[in-house]
């Protein structure tokens, strides 16, 4: 009996163990069938088909699935309840950036793949970046993450000949010692305010903007220009109010630009020029959802801020997509707005931190590199401008020709053009993968209301004889630097008193001579003025002395140079330049002149 009973108990235990085992086996296949990251990648590649998308595209994925209950939504939502829903099951998140390395707003896609079944549970076209539980996902946490193969599943990037990278891929040289711009006091009573949020204040600021802010901070520090951050328009106003010594306010704005309605798919757009400075998402127990709080800056807001401080001069740079809308001529710009430069045309996105794949003459592809010196990971617009400002501040020639901060800002895009792929030699015609070329994203002409500032140079020459109204002389050699396109600058190279015997400004002749080859670059000759020794009569007589250019027009195959005198009691010789569509290289020249 004991043996039979023991056998019965043993049999019962075995039966219970087998029943439990069956339950475990029934449960185990569900866990074992959960798809891997590699399997999820294949599902996403099939669903999104990035290889079939036009242009430069990247598809990102996270290394682990999102837990059940997570909320995923687009970051471009307006202020208010975002309308998100919690995930019912674990899911793999993928994001397809349809304009890789371009700033927002532009189209992209969110894809969610069920972590157990491998079924696509969401495939949504959006016009911005994805947000997970109120924050950007890991692949958007920094510029390095955005370019990291840890998160990138697929990527198509621009390829360029390795030879096109040139010297600008290396850091540009910087002179030692005190920058001339500082020594000359050109930044006195100026300050820089960086307006926008890159994560320091709000829960969601775009970390991809950090490099641009860092670049501006670094330049300001290098020239001892006081700078500060402002996350909102009110913060900027408070900064200006707190700095009464800052009479020249340099306002740098970075954010996501709003297109006009109908320009970007899935983006309603804004009727007024607008930049999103930042936004934060806070979960509301009452609403059972996240609530968005957006900080926007409109053209009306910006011009209102400037008009609020009529005793200060403002210089503005806007790094945002569609920022050309801020140049809308229908608006009335305050007189104290001296220059406003924007990153892109009104209907174009702007480029972020671009990297390219170099290809050598055998067709071998290299690793992605910066096409020029950009240690900060700044946007192309800001990279070029920061280099331009650095070149200006360190150059005694450029500070002579652009003798104020406002003129330097207007010229910075041209001075730093080799550090911006939209203007860099050899790149402007390279396809941008978005139906155009890098050049199609080039900044439009800035709005300028520049003060008429000139620099006084040095010259040598004789004054008129004591008994008459005649004189002659030669100026010292001067550097002739072309100004930025469609802007005008000049400086005096020689001045003296007119002899008392002269009843007024005497007739004069003046010839601008190229130091390198002795050719006449421009000349002016009043009727009755003697021709300087060694010269022939000026071909255009008493006009402003512009020699015919190579194209046969009345233009000095740029830059155009003007010689003039002024005043009844003083006589001065000035060299001025107007920058047309093409610029000639910097040259060295001197002026020979006579009067009487």
Q: What is the 3-state secondary structure (H, E, C) of 334-350?
A: CCCEEEEEECCCCCCCC
φ, ψ for residue 461, nearest 5 deg: 170, 165
- 8-20: per-residue pLDDT in tens? 444 554 444 444 4
- 252-290: per-residue pLDDT in tens? 999 999 888 888 777 777 889 999 898 888 898 988 899
Tokens linked to 253: 């704005």
Mean pLDDT for back-to-back runs of 10 residues, the chain (596 residues): 43 46 36 80 97 94 96 83 92 96 91 96 93 93 94 93 68 58 87 81 65 95 94 94 95 93 78 89 89 90 96 96 89 91 91 92 91 93 94 80 84 89 79 74 81 42 46 72 51 59 70 80 77 75 38 36 51 57 59 78
- 344-381: per-residue pLDDT in tens? 999 888 999 999 999 988 989 999 999 999 999 999 99
CB proximity list for 509: less than 8 A, separation 6 or greater = 523, 524, 525, 526, 529, 530, 531, 532, 535, 538, 593, 594, 595
Residue ranges of domains in the chain, CATH in brackets: 37-155 (no CATH), 159-448 (3.40.50), 455-595 (no CATH)
Element housing 545 (H / E): none
Cα(523)–Cα(382) distance, integer angstroms: 40
pTM of the model: 0.74
Does the bond joining 559 to the residue before it have cis omega, within 30 degrees of 0?
A: yes
17: left (phi over 0), alpha (psi -120 to 50) or beta: alpha
Tokens linked to 171: 């850091």
The SS3 of residue 284 is strand
Q: Could you write out the DSSP letters of every residue in 507-542?
A: PEEEEEEETTT--EEEEEE-TTPPPPTTPPPPTTTT
């Amino acid at each position: 009996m004991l043996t039979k009973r023991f056998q019965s108990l043993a049999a019962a235990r075995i039966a219970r163990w087998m029943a439990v085992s069956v339950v475990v086996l029934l449960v185990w296949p569900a866990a074992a069938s959960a798809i891997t990251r590699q399997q999820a990648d294949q599902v996403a590649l099939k669903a999104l088909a990035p290889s079939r998308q036009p242009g430069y595209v990247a598809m990102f994925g996270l290394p682990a699935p999102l837990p059940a209950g997570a909320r995923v939504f687009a970051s471009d939502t307006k202020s208010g309840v975002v309308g998100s829903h919690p995930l019912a099951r674990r899911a793999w998140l993928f994001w397809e950036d349809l304009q890789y390395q371009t700033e927002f707003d532009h189209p992209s896609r969110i894809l969610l793949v069920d972590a157990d079944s491998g079924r696509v549970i969401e495939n949504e076209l959006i016009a911005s970046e994805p947000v997970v539980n109120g924050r950007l996902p890991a692949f958007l946490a920094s510029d390095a993450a955005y370019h990291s193969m840890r998160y990138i599943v697929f990527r198509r990037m621009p390829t360029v000949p390795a030879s096109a990278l040139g010297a600008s891929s290396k850091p540009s040289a910087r002179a030692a010692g005190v920058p001339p711009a500082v020594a000359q006091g050109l930044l006195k009573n100026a300050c820089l305010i960086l307006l926008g949020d890159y994560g320091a204040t709000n829960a969601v600021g775009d970390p991809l903007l950090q490099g641009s802010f860092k670049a501006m901070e670094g330049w300001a520090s290098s020239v001892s220009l006081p700078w500060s951050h402002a996350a909102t328009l009110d913060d900027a106003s408070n900064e200006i109010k707190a700095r009464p010594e800052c009479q020249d306010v340099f306002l740098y704005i970075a954010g996501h630009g709003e297109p006009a309605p109908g320009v970007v798919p899935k983006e309603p757009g804004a009727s007024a020029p607008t930049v999103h400075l930042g936004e934060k998402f806070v979960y509301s127990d009452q609403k059972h959802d996240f609530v968005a709080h957006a900080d926007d800056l409109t053209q009306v807001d910006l011009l209102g801020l400037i008009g609020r401080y009529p005793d200060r001069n403002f210089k503005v740079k806007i790094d945002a997509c569609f920022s050309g809308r801020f140049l809308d001529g229908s608006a009335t710009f305050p007189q104290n707005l001296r220059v406003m430069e924007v990153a892109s045309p009104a209907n174009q996105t702007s480029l972020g931190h671009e990297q390219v794949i170099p290809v050598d003459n055998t067709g071998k592809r290299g690793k992605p590199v910066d096409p020029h010196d950009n240690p900060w990971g700044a946007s192309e617009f800001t990279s070029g401008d920061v280099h331009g400002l650095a070149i200006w501040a360190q150059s005694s020639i450029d500070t002579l020709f652009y003798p104020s901060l406002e003129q330097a800002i207007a010229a910075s895009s041209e001075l730093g053009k080799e550090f911006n792929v939209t203007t860099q030699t050899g790149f402007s015609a390279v396809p941008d993968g978005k139906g155009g070329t890098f050049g199609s994203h080039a900044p439009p002409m800035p709005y300028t209301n520049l003060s008429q500032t000139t620099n006084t140079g040095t010259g040598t020459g004789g004054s008129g004889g004591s008994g008459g109204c005649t004189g002659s002389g030669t100026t010292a050699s001067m550097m002739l630097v072309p100004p930025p396109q469609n802007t005008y600058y000049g400086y005096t190279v020689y001045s003296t008193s007119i002899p008392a015997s002269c009843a007024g400004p005497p007739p004069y002749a003046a010839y601008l001579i190229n130091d390198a080859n002795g050719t006449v670059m421009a000349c002016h000759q009043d009727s009755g003025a003697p021709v300087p020794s060694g010269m022939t009569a000026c071909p255009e007589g008493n006009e402003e002395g512009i020699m015919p250019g190579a194209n046969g027009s009345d233009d000095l195959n740029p830059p155009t140079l003007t010689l003039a005198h002024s005043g009844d009691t003083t006589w001065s010789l000035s060299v001025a330049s107007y920058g047309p569509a093409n610029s000639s290289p910097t040259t060295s020249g001197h002026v020979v002149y006579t009067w009487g």
